[in-house]
Amino acid sequence: MTNETNKAVDILNQRGNALFLACQLTDFFAFLSLGGICSKSYIEQAHLAMTPYETDICLKKNNCWDSHIFHLIDYGELFYRKAIHTPNPYGPILFHIKPDLLKQSLNASITSVSVRNEQYNPEMHLKPISPDALNTCYQYASDTPFPEKSLLKDNLVDRDNITGIVPEIICQFDQKVIPFSQVSLVTVDHYVVNNRQFQSWIDEIKVRAGQTFPLMRRYCPSSTAIHISMELGKLLMQGNMTFDDICHSSDERLRTWGSSLNNTAIFDTFVKHLQSDTLLPLYQGKISAETIDHLSEWEQQRNVALDELSEKDAHMILTKLAKKDPSIARRISVLLK
C-alpha cells in the first residue's frame, strides 16, 4: 500500500463509488465455500466449480489469474433503468465492495483496457492507482453533487464490449480470501426460479452459510426490463436460446430489446453463463441451501478435527468423510493447509 493508494481510496469514497464485482451463482457458492471473495486461481486450487469464460485464457496470459479485478461501474444498471444493452454478462449477483479494501493490497493498479482483452498490454495500459489516474476517469469534479460525481466519461466505457475499453482496478493481496466484512451490499437481478424470486433463493443460501452481508434485489424503475428479465429466465430454463430467437420472439418487448443490441457476442456470453452457471444449477437443485447445509456440516467436522486432534488423525477423519462425499476429497488438500 502507498500514500497514493490511500488518496485514491479517499477519492472513491468522496465520489460514493464502490468497487464492483459481478458473478454467477456457481462462483457465489465457491466464495461462500471458502469464506470470502477469492481469485480464480484460489478457487481452482480448491477444486471448486467456477464459471469458465473464454477470456480466462487472457487472464492467465496477462498474469492476472491470481488477481482481483474490480470495475468502477455497474454494467447491469442501464438495462434495469432503461431496458437497453444487456444485463451484466459476468453474472446476476453483484458485490458492492468498500474502497477501503485497497488499503490492504500489496499493489493496486488501474487499466483503461480490460485485462481480459487480447490487445491488453501492461506496459501501455497498466499504471499504479493514483488520484490523478482516477480523477481522469470521471466526467465531473469530485465536489459535484451525487450522482454526477460518480459518472465515468462516456468514451472510457464501451458498453457493447466490456472486455475492451473499460476501467478496471487490478489488485493482489497477502490474504487468499477477501472477507465478506469488506462487502457493503450485494444486489441480485430479477428472475424467478421454481416459482420463487431469485433474490429469495440467494438470501437463503447466504444465511445458511452463516453470512450476514446485506443482500437485496437491485433497484429497477423499468417495468420493461423486469418483464424482459423474467421472460429470458423462463426461456433459458426451458432450453438453449439464440439471439435470433429473441429477434423473432412472439413477445414484442423481447423483440424490441433484441433489435436494439449492437453486439451479439455479449448477448451470447450473457445467456450462456446465466443459463449454465446460475439458473440451471438452481432450477435443478444442484446448488441450494441444502448443499450449503452439507458444506456447513463438513466444515464443523473439520474444525473439531483440527482443533482437538493431531493433523494425522484429522486427515484420517476427513478421508472417511470424503468416502461419503467425493467433493470433500477434492478440497481436503486445500482446506488442511
Q: Are residues 176 and 308 in the same domain?
A: no
Answer whether residue 136 is part of any domain: yes
User: How many domains does the chain contain in total?
Assistant: 2
- One-letter amino acid at 133 equals A
Q: Are residues 156 and 298 in the same domain?
A: no
What does the radius of gyration of the chain's CA atoms come to, in whole angstroms? Answer: 21
- Evaluate if residue 192 carries a pLDDT over 50: yes
Q: Domain end: 136, 161, 182, which one?
A: 182
How far apart are alpha carbons 113 and 111 in whole angstroms?
A: 5
How far apart are alpha carbons 160 and 230 in whole angstroms?
A: 22
Answer whether residue 273 is part of any domain: no
Q: Domain end: 153, 182, 211, which one?
A: 182
18 phi and psi angles, rounded to 5 deg: -85, 170
Answer whether residue 15 is part of any domain: yes
Host domain of residue 33: 3-182
What's the pLDDT at 161? 57
What's the pLDDT at 299? 53
Residue 142, C-beta contacts closer than 8 angstroms, at least 6 positions apart = 11, 14, 15, 135, 149
C-alpha cell belonging to residue 148: 454526477
Q: Are residues 173 and 295 in the same domain?
A: no
Tell me the pLDDT tens digit for each residue of 22-51: 999 999 999 999 999 999 999 999 999 999
Confidence of residue 337 (pLDDT cuts 50, 70, 90): very low
SS3 290: helix
Answer whether residue 22 is part of any domain: yes
Least confident of 135-139, 307-311, 319-323: 307-311
Q: Are residues 176 and 300 in the same domain?
A: no
Q: Are residues 146 and 20 in the same domain?
A: yes
Answer whether residue 106 is part of any domain: yes
Q: Domain end: 135, 165, 182, which one?
A: 182
Tell me the pLDDT tens digit for each residue of 284-307: 999 998 887 666 554 555 545 545
Answer whether residue 50 is part of any domain: yes
Confidence of residue 204 (pLDDT cuts 50, 70, 90): very high
Tell me the pLDDT tens digit for each residue of 316-330: 666 666 665 555 555
What's the pLDDT at 291? 83
Answer whether residue 239 is part of any domain: no
Answer whether residue 150 is part of any domain: yes
What's the pLDDT at 324? 58
Q: Are residues 296 and 178 in the same domain?
A: no
What's the pLDDT at 160? 60
Tell me the pLDDT tens digit for each residue of 222-266: 999 999 999 999 999 999 999 999 999 999 999 999 999 887 888
E-state strands within the chain: 19-23, 36-38, 68-71, 93-97, 105-113, 126-128, 165-173, 177-179, 183-188, 192-193, 196-197, 215-217
Tell me the pLDDT tens digit for each residue of 57-74: 999 999 999 999 999 988
Instruction: Using a cut of 0.75, tell me whether the model's pTM lies above it.
Output: yes
- Evaluate if residue 103 carries a pLDDT over 60: yes
Average pLDDT over the chain reads 87
Tell me the pLDDT tens digit for each residue of 68-99: 999 998 888 889 988 888 999 999 999 999 99
CB 336 within 8 A of CB 329: no
